[in-house]
Amino acid sequence: MSPLDESHTPLPGSPYPLGATVVGGGTQFSAHSPDATAVQICLIDDGGNEKRVDLRQQTYGIWHGVIGGVGAGQRYGIRADGPWNPRAGLRFNPNKLLIDPWARRIEGELGDFNALRAYEGDPFGEPSASDSLGQVPLSVVTAGLVASTDRLETPWEETVIYELHVGAFTATHPDVLPAHRGTYLGLAAPAVIEHLLLLGVTAVELLPVQAFLTEQSVRDRGMHNHWGYSTASYFAPHPGYAATPGNEVPEFRIMVDALHRAGIEVILDVVYNHTCEQGVGGISVSWRGLDAPGYYLLGDEGHDIDLTGCGNTVDASSPISVRMITDSLRYWAGEMGVDGFRFDLASALGRPRGGAFDPRASVLSAISSDPILTRCKLIAEPWDATAGGYQVGNFGLQWSEWNDKYRSNIRTFWNGGSSVREVASRLAGSEDIFAGNGRRPWASINFITAHDGFTAADLVSYNNKHNDANGEDNRDGADHNDSFNHGIEGDSDDPAIIEARRRHVRALLATLILSTGTPMLTAGDEFGHSLGGNNNAYCVPALATSAQSWPLDWGNADKELISFVSRALALRRSAPALRQPEFFEGRRRTDHPDLVWFNASGTEFDDAAWYDERNRTVQAWIDGADVRSHTASGSPLADSSWLLILHSGGPIQITVGTPESFDGSLTPTFDSSRATGEPESTNPLPPGAILWLTGPTVLALRSDRS
């Protein structure tokens, strides 16, 4: 594999850092490929012509060298030669131009698998002899960035997460410049930030923004990947979200800076558990052509071990994978200014060689001990595609976790299922799951909906999924959703059904916001966004623009519901007792414990009442005298005490429950039965007052001791 032009013979350079680094007089290239016999950097000019340069130094399995005269903006790829032994996982093919796994920018048509597929050979036959560039994505040399020091570090107990999709969120927003809709700059628009501040969220969690490709099976159906869980580069921002092609890096940083100025953190949804290359019958665009045994879990015959349901699994116990993942995270946190990460199918990262889950697995330990990353918010999706991967509550001290038990118990409670003891556990921070080993209530990321599954509006409008638009004959997506359509599947013009659905949504969102733990809202739920019953909206037609890709319907936003959510979040923000950083433990600073539970009769729950499945009402007295939160100066916060009442049944008379020693009054502060959450009356109520509830309701009453 000799170079086409010997005039670019590189100087040795250093094996580190990996990737392309601009240095004095040129660019240093370093590519990990320990079993290769030769590695070339292929420089591509504006006319598509290729100039190949051998890297002649190999250190630690890394091929490296400095190529003079090469600077930022240079497009390039990697060719690796070596043995073709697929059953040992070795798939070297110098005819393939590969993406640099450490590239900071990717250029080219990231959705065109037709050209890429023509570039493939039989996965267990002979390698392809094709040498056409086609539409293969190219890596791009970038200049070094000044590290961001603008870190908000919002305390976990004050954090409210808002999950959104960069493309869909502003695709039809009327107050975003048309050229910026569906882009990083769109998310930085003043009107968008104003909406986030109006709601009261403190962090946005972005669905994948690392450059991604569409899976072959999706492409074959005339679709393209919308969500982005198909990574092609762990360092490059997805170019499809740039308003100006090639400007994705500075535009991403502009977005982060704008959100930070508003006091809003940026959390990235990252997909280190698998790549876009799928199984061995899929494409080879990067990792597989350089070091498949180093990057992937492989079986005895060279097949990928699939713990993710996506065709392959990154071997997170391999030194090169650990380096790639931690280098990537440090880049996004340092140079790009990101505040935290949500790890997709994180359990797969904690299963060395695909075995049993270990919270001290190499990459998890590397992340949670890194001096930069330990200052970031770390959130695990604590499962993978296998039964052994379900690990809710089992991650380490540094981690928070998506709590699907919260989602299930709260959904079913408002559908007439889930016992009061289950909903009480979730309301109080899921101590049964997360207590022990020094963990806190905020380790529970509470959510009712997320990107996968029904929206809140669809959760109360559909009993069944309606995923025909995905082109998989409605086979994809979850079959069990804990949803309830209130008598009619889909849209209805029946006023009674419309009101019942609205009341149901308000009860769900109010419960989420007023629960102890970290709430996560899904973008659009605050104004009634619907996906027409599609609970797996991960793909869209291949020719769809961002404005057609499941966009949020800002034109029909329910402004009353926005006011409702804003009011609920304002209550949470103003009341430290409703967002406590430590579990309730019966501690006393007054004459009664920090948490007392009552039934509909105002009587404290006993064992029989906890296990009476007919109970549809639970009252929680939360004492505000010792909430264990602190001001910025370190002084402890105190709060009023609160009575939260949740009732998921029909009309009922209840007696307000309060501790025996309580001699003050209770002021109605929040009422989910009302469209905006504002109570009909704020007249103080005495202990033991009688209330009439007309149906499903969340009430918050503030105590004012006399």
Q: Domain containing 79 — which CATH number?
A: 2.60.40.10
Choose the final residue of a domain: 121, 140, 159. Answer: 140
| Domain annotation covers residue 599 | yes
pLDDT, tens only, 100-159: 999 999 997 654 444 455 456 677 777 877 665 656 799 999 998 877 777 899 999 999
| Domain annotation covers residue 603 | yes
The full length of the chain comes to 706
Report the pLDDT averaged over residues 553-577.
96
Range list of β-strands (E), 383-538: 400-402, 444-447, 518-522
Closest of 375, 384, 379, 376 to residue 350, by C-alpha: 384
Report pLDDT for 630. 57
Please identify which residue in the block is written with the tokens 């919308």. Answer: 226
| 344 classed as catalytic | yes
Catalytic residue among 251, 269, 315, 381: 381
Q: Between the CA of residue 53 and those of 14, 46, 57, 101, 108, what are the distances in Å?
A: 16, 17, 12, 18, 21
Report the pLDDT averaged over residues 420-431.
95
Q: Is the pLDDT of residue 432 over 60?
A: yes
Q: Are 274 and 313 in contact (CB under 8 A)?
A: yes
Dist. CA 1–CA 96, nearest whole Å: 12
Query: Can you give the pTM of this predicted structure?
Result: 0.95
pLDDT, tens only, 487-542: 999 999 999 999 999 999 999 999 999 999 999 999 999 999 999 999 999 999 88
pLDDT, tens only, 320-356: 999 999 999 999 999 999 999 999 999 999 999 999 9
| Domain annotation covers residue 312 | no
pLDDT grade for 436, boundaries at 50, 70 and 90: confident
| Domain annotation covers residue 498 | no
Domains identified in the chain, total number: 2
Catalytic residue among 100, 112, 344, 422: 344
pLDDT, tens only, 13-59: 899 999 999 999 999 999 999 999 999 999 999 998 999 999 999 99
pLDDT, tens only, 576-614: 999 999 999 876 556 678 899 999 999 999 999 899 888
Q: pLDDT averaged over the chain?
A: 92
Question: What are the b/e assignments for 522-556, b being 16+ CB within 10 Å?
Answer: bbbbbbbbbbbbbbbbbbbeeeeebeebbbbebee
Joined tokens for residue 162: 């808002």
| Domain annotation covers residue 447 | no
Dist. CA 422–CA 248, nearest whole Å: 46
pLDDT, tens only, 255-285: 999 999 999 999 999 999 999 999 988 888 9
pLDDT, tens only, 380-408: 999 999 999 999 999 999 999 999 999 99
| DSSP 8-state code for residue 488 | S
HSE-CB for 564 with a 13 A CA cutoff: 28
Contacts of 543 (CB under 8 A, 6+ apart): none
Joined tokens for residue 306: 């699939």
Report pLDDT for 639. 81
Q: Are 74 and 37 in contact (CB under 8 A)?
A: no
Choose the final residue of a domain: 140, 169, 198. Answer: 140
Helices 362-369 + 319-334 axis angle, to 10 = 30
| Domain annotation covers residue 113 | yes
pLDDT, tens only, 74-110: 999 999 999 999 999 999 999 999 999 999 999 976 5
Q: Are 77 and 139 in contact (CB under 8 A)?
A: yes
Report pLDDT for 56. 94
Contacts of 608 (CB under 8 A, 6+ apart): none
Report pLDDT for 4. 43
Specify the CATH number for the domain of residue 591.
2.60.40.1180
Q: Helix/strand/coil (H, E, C) string of 603-671?
A: CECCHHHHCCCCCCEEEEEECCCCCCCECCCCCECCCCCEEEEEECCCCEEEECCCCCCCCCEEEEEEE
Dist. CA 320–CA 177, nearest whole Å: 42
Report pLDDT for 151. 82
Report pLDDT for 208. 98
Per cent of the chain over pLDDT 70 is 93
Q: Is the pLDDT of residue 9 over 90?
A: no
Q: Is the pLDDT of residue 2 over 80?
A: no
Domain that holds residue 15: 6-140
Q: Which residue has the higher pLDDT, 425 or 624?
A: 425
Joined tokens for residue 394: 């089992």
| Domain annotation covers residue 82 | yes
DSSP 556-616: G--HHHHHHHHHHHHHHHH-GGGS-SS------SSSS-SEEEE-TTSPBP-HHHHT-TT--
Report pLDDT for 113. 44
Choose the final residue of a domain: 109, 140, 171. Answer: 140
| Domain annotation covers residue 54 | yes
Range list of β-strands (E), 385-531: 400-402, 444-447, 518-522
Q: Is the pLDDT of residue 420 over 60?
A: yes
Per cent of the chain over pLDDT 90 is 82
Strand partners, 628: none
Report pLDDT for 359. 96
Dist. CA 347–CA 215, nearest whole Å: 22
Please identify which residue in the block is written with the tokens 């996906």. Answer: 531
Dist. CA 684–CA 686, nearest whole Å: 7
Burial zone of 694 (CB within 10 Å; 0-12 exposed, 13-18 middle, 19+ buried)? exposed
Report pLDDT for 114. 45
Q: Helix/strand/coil (H, E, C) string of 501-519?
A: HHHHHHHHHHHHHHCCCEE
Joined tokens for residue 503: 């009341």
